[in-house]
Structure 1
Amino acid sequence: MVRLRPGRQHGERRTDPMRRWLGNTLRGVCMGAADVVPGVSGGTIALILGIYPRLIDAVGGLGTGLLRRVWSRSFWHLLGAGAKDPRRLPGDGAGQDAGRVLFLAFLAAGIAPAIAAGARILPPLLSLYPAQMRGLFLGLVLASVTVPLRAMRSGGPSRWLLGIAAAVATAWFVGLPQPTSERATGRVLLEFAEPAAAEVRLTPQNLTLLAPGDGSRPELAFKPVGAAAAPAGSTGIEVDVIAGMVGAAGNVPPGSIRVVEGPVGELSVSQPEALSGGRDPSLAYLLLGGVLAISAMALPGISGSFVLLLLGLYHYVLYTLSLAIYHQDGGAILTAGALAAAMAAGLLSVARVLKGMFARWHDPTLAVLVGLMLGSLRKLWPFTRYTEEGREVAVLPPLGDPEVVAVTLLFVAGVGAVLVLGAAGRRRSRQDSNLGARG
């Protein structure tokens, strides 16, 4: 005889069963929207929404026993019954596995479309407003450091030394030059509608060139390799450009770059020669990035998208997802599928290792995470330029640069958003603790 789970627990609201599952889907939308933004952790959102413990339990509970049950017709009957009413699931191992699968499935039904929408919305913002977006991400990541700091149970010199060592090592690592051979480079000609009345200074911060999307690919962005100056009276200037992301997609044919956003009102661009030198990252490196990103997403305060950004894969992954979802490109679909498989494997394996590390070395692990986050801030400095070799380096903004105000405002907005979300999460945790104590 199959025993059914008890219905309503003490303190639990009476809700329609399907509304519970749909509520998980809406929570998944919030998590997916957070996961696609560097600096916002889907784990933090799960903590705020009150599902983080169940999420960790669901992922940690998946194993070989579930794989055996998937081939059983009775298990699929359990899934169907549980989807209609989770209270109909029995309390044995099969019922618990069915509950975990349904929980993760409805959660994924919200995460996936949110990430797909982000893959279309974010790339244009990153292309047209790179400094402003970096300012936002800098604020998000800096404020997120408070999450692991608050979770530490005790301080001590050894903890701080671990954090400092991790910060120094990370700052050194993210400062290493990325291979420029993976980005397409070339030259374009900019022409002014009228002779320049004064010197026109063009930089990676104030000049963006676009190859508009078509039916086969999304829009691509390019930046000047370094600063260039057109003297007063000139009618045009040749500019060396570099693709905004790694990958062979940047090797666009002549005439592809047709849109320019710059400091001069009427500015036109022509591309006489094809860009070249762009090369896709290796599949092994991409899969490793996926494993590391999904492992980070499982931790409150650590953003998986930020991990991809540190590895130089963030823009490439967004482009690949957009190419697969909105342009049905076969190669992109295969790449996205392989990445999804790697992330699933990472969630089931590396996430368990991290869970064990937290159980055994809670505070030292958190101290290292704090150091990683602080050291990685070097990667998010909003103001940069490219050297003649194509390497991106941080610089101080020119005096009176109008972008400084916008960057500062977005930085403050990022800090405020994380602090508000963190306060909401702590309030939710206290409410759950009080409810459990009364139960």
Structure 2
Amino acid sequence: MTDAPRSGRGAGGADGADDTDIEREEGPLGTYLRGVAMGSADAVPGVSGGTIALITGIYDRLIAAVTAASPALARRALEGLLGDRDQLRAVWAELDGAFLLALGVGIATAILTVTRALHVALEAVPVLTYGFFFGLIGASAIVLRDEFRVDTTGRAAAAVAGAVLAFVASGSASAALGESALATFVAGAVAVSAMILPGISGSLLLVILGQYERMTEALSVFVDALLAVATGGPTATVVETGVPVVAFLAGGVVGLLTVAHAVRAALAARREATLAFLIGLIVGALRAPVVRVGEEVGAWSVAVGGEFAVAAAVGALLVVGVDRLAGGIDLD
């Protein structure tokens, strides 16, 4: 976790303060566009929205806003909604509400758009798509290699535990959580915690949990239902298809209030061991795209392997390019 990102980024330091002031002057449109960039990154496994936040200079502001959320603040907000408008305005300012709203709308716009395209790609060209994901995931582990040292038994154990957990959980599309509303809720809570982790992708965590394909499909179906209603279709379809989406979003809200704080506390208390565990997750998750391709094609062949390798190279180059643009992911 970084409370002081690279020089000239975020709110830390003189340069960071200037960047934050500039961002505020740009207004909601600039924040919205940053959200679009973050959402586009978060929609694909292996690319982190937190990294995009670093690149665009809003990481510290995002962390401050996210960690300001708490049950106590929620109670104050409820009091404000019940009549204390001054209290409500104070809570909105403390949360940096205008910033989060514009950023959230941008993220949602991108996720709805990109996941729809990825759903089509998963159906039409699964080998190329999963190969691309493999490259994204693998390169993410590589660009983070300098962020931790496995020089103690505890850190080595943490790295192995993360890798084994992800490897086992990535064994099949139905592994890990299943498809219940509770599973979707938990997936949302876990995935949203990656928002505060540069280099760790929320979509990657969904892949590990066996929820990625399911959620991309659920979002696509839900958007189709909304479009159908706009042209006179039945509203019942929106309610039916919206259940997993609402469960996921509800989990995300709870995740912001709980999981995100727990991850940040773990990084503050045991940074090296926590990073070792998280990077172990990335390495173990490399199994998931390979397994999914096997499920799609039945058996690997030279042709399938070649397609997979080419797509993986493209994905890896994308992550390396983003990392170079960011100046190297810094989690100190």
Q: TM-score range by the shorter chain?
A: 0.7 to 0.9
Distance in 2, matches of 1:27 and 1:296, equals 17
Deviation for aligned residue 1:290: 1.3
Tell me if structure 1 keeps the 8 A contact 2:40–2:107. Answer: yes
Distance in 1, matches of 2:219 and 2:92, equals 35
Deviation for aligned residue 1:114: 0.7
Q: Residues 122, 164 of structure 1: CA spacing in aligned structure 2 closer, same or farther, 3 A cutoff?
A: same
| Counterpart amino acid of residue 318 in structure 1 | T
Q: Residues 335, 166 of structure 1: CA spacing in aligned structure 2 closer, same or farther, 3 A cutoff?
A: closer
Deviation for aligned residue 1:394: 8.2
Distance in 2, matches of 1:283 and 1:49, equals 35
Deviation for aligned residue 1:95: 7.7
Match of 2:10 in 1: none
Q: Deviations over 1:28-63 (max 9, x none)?
A: 000111111122111121122221222111111122
Which of the numbers 143, 149, 156 marks the counterpart of 2:151?
A: 156
Distance in 2, matches of 1:394 and 1:157, equals 42
Deviation for aligned residue 1:301: 1.7
Which of the numbers 309, 316, 320 marks the counterpart of 1:419?
A: 320
Which of the numbers 42, 60, 71 marks the counterpart of 2:67?
A: 60
Which of the numbers 280, 285, 305 marks the counterpart of 1:371?
A: 280
1:172 aligns with 2:173: no
Q: Deviations over 1:182-222 (max 9, x none)?
A: xxxxxxxxxxxxxxxxxxxxxxxxxxxxxxxxxxxxxxxxx
Q: Deviations over 1:386-433 (max 9, x none)?
A: 5xxxxx7985x324x2x444332221111111112112223697xxx9
Distance in 1, matches of 2:270 and 2:246, equals 34
Identity %: 32
Q: Deviations over 1:293-347 (max 9, x none)?
A: 1123331222211222222222221222122223132212233122211111111
Match of 2:127 in 1: 131
Distance in 2, matches of 1:17 and 1:164, equals 43
Tell me if structure 2 keeps the 8 A contact 1:135–1:382. Answer: no
| Counterpart amino acid of residue 398 in structure 1 | S
Distance in 2, matches of 1:169 and 1:337, equals 27
Match of 2:198 in 1: 300
Distance in 2, matches of 1:145 and 1:428, equals 11
Q: Deviations over 1:65-110 (max 9, x none)?
A: 354144332356x5xxxxxxxxxxxxxx758515x21211110120
Tell me if structure 2 keeps the 8 A contact 1:135–1:411. Answer: yes
Larger radius of gyration: 1
Distance in 1, matches of 2:209 and 2:329, equals 34
Q: Residues 130, 382 of structure 1: CA spacing in aligned structure 2 closer, same or farther, 3 A cutoff?
A: farther
Match of 1:122 in 2: 118
Distance in 2, matches of 1:377 and 1:425, equals 24
Distance in 1, matches of 2:158 and 2:211, equals 27
Q: Residues 310, 168 of structure 1: CA spacing in aligned structure 2 closer, same or farther, 3 A cutoff?
A: closer
Normalising by structure 1, report the TM-score: 0.61
Tell me if structure 1 keeps the 8 A contact 2:171–2:291. Answer: no
Tell me if structure 2 keeps the 8 A contact 1:148–1:366. Answer: no
SS at match of 2:132: helix
Tell me if structure 2 keeps the 8 A contact 1:148–1:300. Answer: no
SS at match of 1:145: helix
Distance in 2, matches of 1:136 and 1:19, equals 35
Match of 1:287 in 2: 185
Distance in 1, matches of 2:125 and 2:137, equals 18
Distance in 2, matches of 1:10 and 1:37, equals 33
Q: Identify the structure with the greater helix proportion.
A: 2
Q: Residues 313, 426 of structure 1: CA spacing in aligned structure 2 closer, same or farther, 3 A cutoff?
A: same
| Counterpart amino acid of residue 85 in structure 2 | R
1:398 aligns with 2:292: no
Runs of 4+ deviating beyond 4 Å: 13-18, 93-96, 392-395
| Counterpart amino acid of residue 125 in structure 1 | A
Distance in 2, matches of 1:289 and 1:416, equals 28
| More relative contact order, 1 or 2 (CA 8 Å, 6+ apart) | 2
SS at match of 2:285: helix
Distance in 2, matches of 1:373 and 1:51, equals 25
Q: Residues 331, 18 of structure 1: CA spacing in aligned structure 2 closer, same or farther, 3 A cutoff?
A: farther
Distance in 2, matches of 1:113 and 1:176, equals 30
Match of 1:74 in 2: 86
1:362 aligns with 2:271: yes
Paired residues, number: 298
Distance in 2, matches of 1:427 and 1:166, equals 23
Which residues in structure 2 correspond to 1:75-224 (within 5 Å)? 96-97=93-94, 100-152=96-148, 154-158=149-153, 159-175=155-171, 178=174
Tell me if structure 2 keeps the 8 A contact 1:130–1:382. Answer: no
Q: Structure 1: where are the runs of 5+ without partners?
A: 1-8, 79-92, 180-245, 247-279, 387-391, 434-439
Which of the numbers 256, 260, 269 marks the counterpart of 1:347?
A: 256
Which of the numbers 193, 206, 222 marks the counterpart of 1:324?
A: 222
Match of 2:37 in 1: 30
Q: Which range moves more in the overlay, 296-305 or 109-118?
A: 296-305
Normalising by structure 2, report the TM-score: 0.79
Q: Residues 147, 118 of structure 1: CA spacing in aligned structure 2 closer, same or farther, 3 A cutoff?
A: same
SS at match of 1:40: coil
Distance in 2, matches of 1:140 and 1:307, equals 13
SS at match of 1:116: helix
Distance in 1, matches of 2:92 and 2:301, equals 63
Q: Which range moves more in the overlay, 142-151 or 409-418?
A: 142-151
1:408 aligns with 2:306: no
Distance in 2, matches of 1:149 and 1:67, equals 42
Distance in 1, matches of 2:142 and 2:209, equals 23
